[in-house]
Amino acid sequence: MANPVIHFEVTGKDGDALVSFYEQLFGWSTQPVPGLGYSLVEKEGDGIAGGIGTSQNGPGMVTFYVQVEDPQAALDKAESLGGKTVLPVMTIPDTVTLALFADPEGHVVGVVARETQAS
């Protein structure tokens, strides 16, 4: 896969309840991120890492993140194909550079710079 899926997120109204649900359902190990209403899902076996938490704005969603060379180039290409930017490129210092777009049907997908990885 040229651009692999490397991270997922599940967000909703009650992040703590969602964390509990997925821990119990799938036996996932999580680590809370203090003050964010968000927990990291640890990568195990063949799976990918992810996150579960409280939605910061609006309804919850399930999102996957694709690793790319250049997040801005990926946004530009998505827009040229009928997508729309949801979150412009942003860098969380010492963590990740990411952006979000909606495909032509409104599904939100994240892109993550290749030199960093979400965990």
The reported pLDDT for the residue numbered 117 is: 47
Residue 116 reports pLDDT greater than 70:
no
Average pLDDT, the chain: 91
H helix runs in 4-116, sequence order: 15-26, 71-80
116 versus 13: which is more confidently predicted? 13
Handedness of CA 75, 85, 54, 8 (dihedral sign): negative
Task: State how far the alpha carbon of 64 is from the alpha carbons of 34, 35, 71, 86, in Å.
Answer: 23, 23, 14, 14
A 10 A CB-CB count for 119 gives 16
Residue 21 reports pLDDT greater than 70:
yes
5-113: what CATH class? Answer: alpha beta
Residue 72 has φ and ψ, to the nearest 5°, of -65, -40
The tens digit of pLDDT for each residue in 37-84 reads 899 999 988 889 999 999 988 788 999 999 999 999 999 999 999 999
The reported pLDDT for the residue numbered 76 is: 97
Cα gap 10→20, rounded to integer Å: 12
How many residues in the chain?
Answer: 119
Domain ranges of the chain: 5-113
Written as one letter, the residue type at 48 is I
Average pLDDT over residues 6-27: 94
H helix runs in 1-119, sequence order: 15-26, 71-80
